[in-house]
Structure 1
Amino acid sequence: MTVTYNSSTHLMGFLDSVRTSEDVAMPVIVADNCSADLDAVRGITRTYESRLVEMASNLGYGGAINAAISMLPAQVQYVLISNPDVQLHPGATSAMLDVIANDTQVGSVGPRVLNVDGSTYPSGRQLPSLRTGVGHALFARIWPDNPWTRAYRAGSDGGDARRSVGWLSGSCLLVRRTAFEEVQGFDEGFFMYFEDVDLGYRLGKAGWKNVYTPSATVVHTGAHSTSTESEKMLRAHHDSAYRYLEKKYSGPFLAPVRWVLKAGLSLRLRLLARGQRTP
């Protein structure tokens, strides 16, 4: 299943890869978040005999996925969630299914995600601690090799070994439906960004494993639908970062920490937004 938002130029490639990646046909649901190119999406889904679900409003990535999963027949046990600008390599779904079906404690499985240049995107990461997360957020752009960013990215560069991780990229992952529904799916308070980090965090808290498996490979061409809304997306990213930290560090005695985080993220947003507007 995938979510479209002005994504028709990429949808055909995704659906074609789904059709050719496995020996058996896989039904696909396309959840559309009120795209301006909806007519094109309708035509593509008809061509590929996929089911199109048109949202009445833009629910965001997680909201659209939740709505689509709720419409699935009860017998569906596993759901592949993917961005429309992802292309599956042959056997990718089977490889992920083999992992999740043979370990009842696995709640989600993610593949090796390649960039278009063939490099590996860090799609399986450990959950950031407060120190590494804040240090990475504050210094990654101005001091790329800072120790907090190195710690945040440690062990997230792909690799050839299957391993348990804190969270998996929402660009492509296979979820066990019972696990997904146990944690009530994606938190729809994340309109965009961090919904995958939060899902991995809550699955782990509930006792499920998130597993990265390099035996499955996909290619992700990038976040095309947000490329023309840079300042708006910066704000969404920072809002989502704060929501995640607020949820994770929610105790009353941590209120001063949350105040400092909010102030720091607000300052960072203003500085980055000012940079976007500077000619």
Structure 2
Amino acid sequence: MTASFAVVTVTYSSGDYLHNFLRTLTRASRETPEVIIADNGSTDGAPEQAAADHDNVTLVHTGGNIGYGGAVNRGVAQIDEDIEFVVVANPDVEWSEGAIDGLLEAARRWPRAASLGPLITEPDGTVYPSARRVPDLISGTGHAVLGTVWKSNPWTAAYRNDDADLTERPVGWLSGSCLLLRRAAFDAIGGFDSRYFMFMEDVDLGDRLGRSGWLNVFVPSVSVMHAKSHSVSRHPEKMIPAHHASAYRFTADRNPGPLRAPIRLALRAGLAVRSKIAVAAALREQRRTGGPA
């Protein structure tokens, strides 16, 4: 019997992370879904090995590193349109028992939910703030410019939704590292915006789903573990500027017109300075430890 969902993951030399992703996926649901690996130019052979080892895995080469959102869109396009739900997850996710079945049950409780996300923990057990508010001009700018140098600032706290309880509820957006998406809603808004190479594509997706009348629902009764940002730690000189460029795009897109041009210019300048500082700090940490920061 055809599964009620399919899985899409994006790889970029993900190595053993992909192996653990597929190994633990078998315990996440009673169903055996089709898995699409959208590969952005891996050189480690892991996607090819995964496709050879698993009958339910299909490898799709995107033709180069086209970014996370664009690769997800390419993967989703390979899935039969009759499949109601698509799980989109990073290859460095490890699944807990019944995780996807739990998200599917929540989707039936929330028929207007376009995206549903679990509680996400890091390898040390820390809870990652994966369910957040959509940033407005003030909170978004405050967090973007000051988030790394003044971590307790009120704009970052508001953006991260730090004071929220771990209860099942609609939120502004959910981390794209692990999402259950209702295919009809995802297709209706055109999927991820491929202009975002990496980072903020999930904020943009959640915001556009909300503006279209759908809900983004946080389901903390379900949890997964995410060994986050292994690509960032390996390549901070590329990933950190990409993050800042995406932050600018999101805010600029929502504040168009000549009257707000000075705000956009100030934001671009502030983010450029912050990006250079963050890259320098990450590279210093790499040199100090002899490996990724």
TM-score, normalisation: structure 1:
0.93
Where do residues 1-279 of structure 1 align in structure 2 (5 Å cutoff)? Answer: 1-37=8-44, 39-49=45-55, 50-155=57-162, 159-276=165-282
1:210–1:251 Cα change, 3 Å: farther
Q: Distance in 2 between matches of 1:266 and 1:151?
A: 23
Q: Distance in 1 between matches of 2:277 and 2:58?
A: 43
1:118–1:133 Cα change, 3 Å: same
Q: Is the 8 A contact 2:88 2:181 kept in 1?
A: yes
Q: Identity percentage over the alignment?
A: 42
Q: Distance in 2 between matches of 1:176 and 1:212?
A: 14
Q: Is the 8 A contact 2:27 2:98 kept in 1?
A: no
1:275–1:92 Cα change, 3 Å: closer
Shift of 1:103: 2.8
Q: Is the 8 A contact 1:234 1:273 kept in 2?
A: yes
Q: Is the 8 A contact 1:108 1:175 kept in 2?
A: yes
Q: What are the Cα deviations for residues 102-145 of structure 1, in whole angstroms up to 9, with x where unaligned?
A: 33311100000011111211111011122122222222222222
Shift of 1:277: 5.2
Shift of 1:169: 0.3
Q: Distance in 2 between matches of 1:235 and 1:99?
A: 36
Q: Is the 8 A contact 1:126 1:156 kept in 2?
A: no
Q: Distance in 2 between matches of 1:151 and 1:6?
A: 35
1:277–1:20 Cα change, 3 Å: closer
The Cα RMSD (Å) is 1.7
- Once the two structures are overlaid, the 10-residue window that deviates more, 227-236 or 177-186, is 227-236
Q: Distance in 2 between matches of 1:208 and 1:138?
A: 30
1:207–1:143 Cα change, 3 Å: same
TM-score, normalisation: structure 2:
0.89
Q: Distance in 2 between matches of 1:256 and 1:104?
A: 42
Query: Stretches of 4+ moved more than 3 A in 1?
Result: 273-279
Letter in 2 for 1:28: V
